[in-house]
Chain A
Amino acid sequence: MKRLRVLAIPVAAALVLGAILLLATGTDPLAAYGAIVSGAFGPDGIGDTLAYAVPVAGMALALAIPLRAGMVNLGGEGQLVLGAISALAVGLYVPGPGPVKVVLALLAGVLAGAAYAALAAVCENRFGVPLLVSTLLLSYPAMSLAGYLVRFPLKDAGSSLPQSPQLPEGTRLPELGGVTTGIFLVLAVIAVYAVIDARTPAGFETKVTGWAPRFAVYAGIDRPKLTVRLLAASGGTAGLVGAIAVLGFPYRFIDGALITPQYTWIGLLAALLAGASPLGTLLAAVFFAALTSGGFAMERATQVPRELTAVLQAVLIIFLAATSGVFRRKARRA
């Protein structure tokens, strides 16, 4: 109940601001909003929403894991892309039967993302570069590397675009009604995260670190080790999302295709908003995914650019951050 009340003002504010923008472009706000809702959840749109929710929820989860301990991983994009390109390389070049290759490709994605994120943790532990910065700085070279690979060694010879060839027929994740079966992998990882978070000593230590870092160290929690583990889990999840992305439609790596839709940043916001709680992060991510797919439907129905929903989303979060600050301050005073 209280959560709902917290949501009311930001939602209203975002809707009003959106309405103003819509009126400025000469569009009926009600029609546009209707198109968003039916586009997101209607029979035609729900598939799009789910398809978009897979990478967003996956990245949200990836970034939620360290966030639970108060650590911000800003390098999700690099880990995502590295996971994708590693999975693709395995899928293209490792011999063997299709299903085995799919599993190996997924594993390669997880390992690549995990190792790369752990490297950022080592930068903090050994060289004193704050995690926020080390993750961010490492992200760019990873994206450059992937961009290089799909332009030269892994390039699709038959195309002028910076993209890889398609994975062969057998080396793909099947689709169910337009949604990759990778969705089950993402759901499984969320379930595992939820159980670890709520019921295990490791999850408890992560939360204690998030509540009060110095208390955690005093109580005997090894922060450097925890940082490496959380970042590896985070990067591994991001890498898995990347692997799922290339193993699903269009079954290839296209330079920028995982960056331009802002999966990582939207995922980070979902995790930040939900305080990295497993269920909350999932709900927030699905909500943002619905907004985005609704935005495409709105553009088709009303000619209003779909970026409007990105604006709505950001405005919503800004108001939510501001009003939750007010609530926090009241709680502190009491």
Chain B
Amino acid sequence: MTPPNPEAVSLRGIVKRFPGVLANDQVDLDVGAGEIHALMGENGAGKSTLMSVLYGLHRPDEGTISLHGEEVSFGSPAQAIDAGVGMVQQGFALFGELTVTENVVFGSEPTRRGLLDRKAATARVTELIERHELRLRPGDRVRDLPVGLRQRVEILKLLYREADVLILDEPTAVLTPPETDRLFGVLRTLAAEGRTILLVSHKLQEVLAVSDHVTVLRDGRVSARGRTADQTAAGLAAAMTGREVDLDRVHPAGTPGDAVLEARSLTVPGPEGKPLLGNVSLTVRAGEIVGVAGVAGNGQGELSGALSGLLKTDGEVVLKGQSLAGLSVRARRDAGLAHVPEDRAEVGSAPVASLRENLAVGFHRRKPLVRKGFLRRKAIDDHASAIIDAYDVRASGPAAAMGTLSGGNQQKAIFGRELTHDAPFLLVEQPTRGVDVGAIENIHARLVAHRDAGHAVLLISAELSEILALSDRVLVLFEGRIVAEFTKAEADQHNVGLAMAGGAG
């Protein structure tokens, strides 16, 4: 086992600049061998940049990296891997078409007589799976695995490459609470073997539960560090945000009126007789936010598609008394549906087009943008400026390309466009994913104000805290079915979390 000193990983005075942004400013980080070290911070605090520097994806502008007291410099992830540093990135770097074994050995394959030695590869992978109790089957195609298991394939990849420093970037974002517990079990085992674990997270409870030490970043600098045992949730939150935060801020409940949207028996068939969406019925009333909680991939996409018309499904949807059966996306929007989709860059906007054009979409067939069949340039400009002002979209102007805006400002623009429809029903998916804190508060306040103005809102989110903060009612989707329903008073981390994992009766 490596002695605790020198440190397994030591970053000194790391500075990394991007055009217009100082992402890391003189950051020091020390991690001992056999330690689980949490790196905390909000979106944009510089966590991912710092880890990318350690993993060879970016070169630091200043500062040094040492492993076990020896200074190193990585020009590519491949060099980092050779030096024993591996990283599991948020999006995963797996090949769906390949098997577990192929994914694991990819890039350093065992060969026999020049060809792939499948036997040796499978044997080695099987041995690693058994030794670390990862419970994977080497021959399974990665495409067919649930996210929790895919993550283990990523960890397996690092073990196969004999990494002794493992970086995990927000590993629990896609996991159910029980899967999270199993992951932490694996991490503790690995740490006990003397490996170093760097856990990037913004979830306070997790960090307090699993880590030995913690470092907090804010605006690119270290704002707190120390033994986890000495920290409190409130103290870490304050270090992350720079101010006192009400951790359990919950917006006051609304006053629901008549039913606006009613869905009955929505069903999307799936493979092996397991429906992707099974017989889902729900009602959303005016002046009400209904939250749909659930781990990603449990039917949220299908539910959204069934309502918006992007997906053909069995079942019935009635909006303001009008049946939407068989209606196109456009007809549904005309009937009173607005929609903030999950994927901002591909579905919610055209990044190459200007803000002006992005904001005109959906209004481009009606007055005042159209007169006598022709688009009016002036009206389009006015429409865009009005939304930009009202929703505090920070951009160089309406001509700025959508793709040049920050995630938060893109989302504010999309919110502005969809709320401006003043449609009775609003479908919102993952409204604050990848959005900075300031914008999150802005967006949450907008949603509540929209509800209070008498609109019906269906909020689909994988972020449990968001669901709890905003919803008047909470539905839980698990394996395509609604398995639980809670009132605002009943819903809390524990019982909703349990239902998300399929643990509700």
Chain A residues close to B by CB (< 8 Å): 199-201, 204-205, 207-208, 211-212, 214-215, 217-222, 334
Give the residues in chain A near B379, CB-CB below 8 Å.
Answer: none
Please list 21 pairs of residues, one from A and one from B, whose beta carbons are closer than 8 Å in the complex, sorted by A's number. Answer: A199-B374, A201-B365, A201-B373, A204-B375, A208-B353, A208-B357, A211-B352, A211-B353, A212-B349, A212-B351, A215-B347, A215-B350, A217-B329, A218-B329, A218-B339, A219-B361, A219-B362, A220-B329, A220-B331, A222-B328, A222-B329
A208 and B417 alpha carbons, distance in the complex (Å): 15
Cβ–Cβ contact B330 & A204, under 8 A: no
- Select one of B331, B348, B350, B364 contacting A201, CB under 8 A: B364
Are B333 and A214 in touch, CB under 8 angstroms?
A: no
By a CB distance below 8 angstroms, the chain A residues around B310 are 217-218
For residue A200, which residues in chain B have a CB less than 8 angstroms away from its CB? 373-375
Give chain B residues whose Cβ lies under 8 Å from the Cβ of A199: 374-375
B401: nearest chain-A partner, CB-CB:
A331
Let me know if B330 and A215 touch, CB within 8 A. Answer: no
A208 contacts which chain B residues (CB < 8 A)? 350, 353, 357, 361
- Complex formed: what's the CA distance from A204 to B331 in Å? 18
Q: Are A212 and B330 in contact (CB under 8 A)?
A: no
Nearest CB on A from B367, distance (A) = 12
Q: Is A211 touching B374 in the complex (CB atoms < 8 A)?
A: no
CB–CB A218/B375 < 8 A: no
Q: Which of A218, A221, A334 has the most CB of B within 10 A?
A: A218
- The 8 Å CB contact of A215, one of B308, B360, B361, is B361
Most A Cβ at <10 Å: residue of B361, B375, B404: B361
User: Of all chain A residues, which has the CB nearest B308?
Assistant: A218
Q: Which of B310, B339, B364, B370 has the largest count of A CB atoms less than 10 A from its CB? A: B364
Give bound CA distance, A208 to B331, whole Å: 18
Question: Which residue from chain A places its CB closest to the CB of B365 in the assembled complex?
Answer: A201
User: In whole Å, how far is A178's beta carbon from the nearest beta carbon of chain B?
Assistant: 38
A-B pair number, CB within 8 angstroms: 66
Q: Is A215 a contact of B349 with CB atoms below 8 Å?
A: yes
The answer to whether A215 and B373 have CB atoms under 8 Å apart is no
> Is the pair A220, B328 in contact by a Cβ cutoff of 8 Å?
yes
Q: Which of B290-347 contact A (CB under 8 A)?
A: 308, 310, 328-333, 339, 341, 343, 346-347
Q: Assuming A201-B370, A204-B360, A219-B362, is B375 touching A212 (CB within 8 A)?
A: no
Give the chain A neighbours of B505 by CB distance below 8 A: none
Interface pair B346/A212, CB less than 8 Å apart: yes
Q: Which residues of B contact A207 (CB under 8 A)?
A: 353, 357
Does the CB pair A220–B352 fall under 8 Å? no
B332, B347, B360, B404: residue with the most chain A Cβ atoms closer than 10 Å: B347
Query: Residue on B with the closest CB to A209?
Result: B350
Q: A199-B375, A200-B375 are in contact. Are A221 and B351 (CB under 8 A)?
A: no
How far, in Å, is B288 (CB) from chain A's closest CB? 24
Task: Please state if B353 and A218 are interface contacts (CB–CB under 8 Å).
Answer: no
Whether B365 contacts A215 by the Cβ 8 Å rule is no
Closest-by-CB residue of A relative to B380 is A204
Q: Please report the C-alpha to C-alpha distance between residue A222 and residue B350 in the assembled complex, in whole angstroms.
A: 17
Residue of B whose beta carbon sits closest to that of A333: B19
Determine the chain B residues whose CB is within 8 A of the CB of A218 once the complex forms.
308, 310, 329, 339, 341, 347-348
A205, B339: Cα distance in complex, Å: 18
Q: Judging by beta carbons under 8 Å apart, are B19 and A334 in contact?
A: yes
What 9 A-B pairs are tightest by C-beta distance, nearest first? A220-B330, A212-B350, A211-B350, A220-B329, A211-B353, A219-B361, A199-B374, A218-B347, A201-B365
Please, how many angstroms separate the alpha-carbon atoms of A221 and B328 in the complex?
A: 9
Q: A199 vs B373: C-alpha distance in the bound complex, in angstroms?
A: 9
- Name the residue of chain A whose CB is nearest to the CB of B360: A204
Minimum CB distance partner of B377 in chain A: A199
How far, in angstroms, from A220 to B362 measured CA to CA in the complex?
A: 8
CA of A214 to CA of B328, assembled, Å: 15
Q: B333 — which chain A residues lie within 8 A by C-beta? A: 219-220
Quick one: closest A residue to B344, CB to CB? A215
Q: Inside 8 A of B350's CB, which chain A residues have their CB? A: 208, 211-212, 215
Min CB–CB distance A316 → chain B (angstroms): 25
**Closest B-chain residue to A331, C-beta based?**
B401
Say yes or no: A205 contacts B341, CB within 8 Å.
no
Bound together, the chains give a CA A334 to CA B396 distance in angstroms of 15
Contact bitstring B370-406, A, C-beta under 8 A = 1, else 0: 1001110000000000000000000000000000100
Q: Do A215 and B348 have beta carbons less than 8 Å apart?
A: yes
| Smallest CB separation, B169 vs chain A (Å) | 22
Contact B375 A214 (CB under 8 A): no
Which residue of A199, A205, A207 has the most chain B CB atoms within 10 A of its CB atom? A199
A-facing mask of B61-77, CB < 8 A → 1, else 0? 00000000000000000
Taking CB atoms, residues of chain A closer than 8 Å to B308 are 218
Residues in B with CB closer than 8 Å to A219 are 329, 333, 361-362
CA A53 – CA B46 in complex, angstroms? 57
Distance of A154 Cα from B208 Cα, bound (Å): 86
Closest Cβ of chain B: how far from A137's Cβ, in Å? 27
In whole angstroms, what is the CA distance A214 to B357 when docked?
Answer: 16
Q: Which residue of A lies closest to B376 (CB)?
A: A199
A208 to B360, CA, bound (A): 10
Q: Which residue of chain A has the shortest Cβ distance to B337 in the bound complex?
A: A220
| Contact B329–A214 (Cβ < 8 Å) | no
Q: How far is the CB of B278 from chain A (nearest CB, A)?
A: 25
Q: In the complex, A215→B330 CA distance in Å? A: 13
